Structure 1
Amino acid sequence: MAETGDSVFGSLKEFVSDRFWFVEKYHKFIDGRHKPLSWSDSDVDAFIACDPVHGPALKSAREVTKFAAVGSVLGAANLAGIAWKYSKSPHGTALSLAAGAVFGWTFGHEIGNHYHQLYRMDSMGAQVKFLEWVESKKGVSS
């Protein structure tokens, strides 16, 4: 019976690791860390200036989040406003606000991705290189 449980757990672990492969890149930064890794905007600007390969990708990725944030605000306000106008239901408006924020974030992120052509860059690799740079600069080990 133990073998069946192990095989089910093993296949579930394999299924999840196939779907969330990107977590492996960040594993060393989040698993078992005693002190959280922190940085400021000046650290990001210094990394962008000193790394000609990954700096532009990180800068573009940060710009895309601004598109996503604006989309989130617009989506939340628009959908909540429509819900309030037609239903006058507080709980429906609150749900519409949350759903509009999620939908707006998604659409804004996609628009930003295409505007900054982030699909041509390795933004995940740039973020990992930035985290490694911060870790070495601050002298923090996991």
Structure 2
Amino acid sequence: MTRFHRYTTHALRTLFGAFFVFSGLNHIFAFWQPPAPHTTAGHAFLAGLGASGFIVPLLGVLFTYAGVALIARRMVALALLLLAAPIVVIFGYHFVTEGESFGIHWVLMAIYLWLAWEQRATWAALFAADARTNTTTPAEPSPLRPAF
């Protein structure tokens, strides 16, 4: 890995983490009001999140934790895994619901994919098949083994 690549990854991870710390604290303490949605679907979506009473604070805690973990470079793979669904929702909200072709959602998705690619070795264990499932005889009998 070149020095430029290492510094770019570090800068993107820090900026991404700072964005989510700010966003998370804003979800909890509401010190900055984001722009109002442009569409009725956007109004309905955000009103539903707010009316639930727990989604917005939960997102605040999740964003703050993930942002601090990214900035501190501790458990980066877990932080990115926790941010996977919200990133897709942010992208879908801006692209589909608000109809924005270009905007911050593309930047967030690109940075997320960059950082996720950097963590691919850490995530390999999540997607690797268990070695015991490939044998014909199970290591220990399972009470839920199929009858056939």
**TM-score greater than 0.5 by the shorter chain:** no
Higher share of residues assigned helix:
1
Bigger RCO of structures 1 and 2 (CA < 8 A, at least 6 apart): 1
Q: TM-score range by the shorter chain?
A: under 0.3
TM-score (norm 2): 0.26
TM-score by length of 1: 0.27
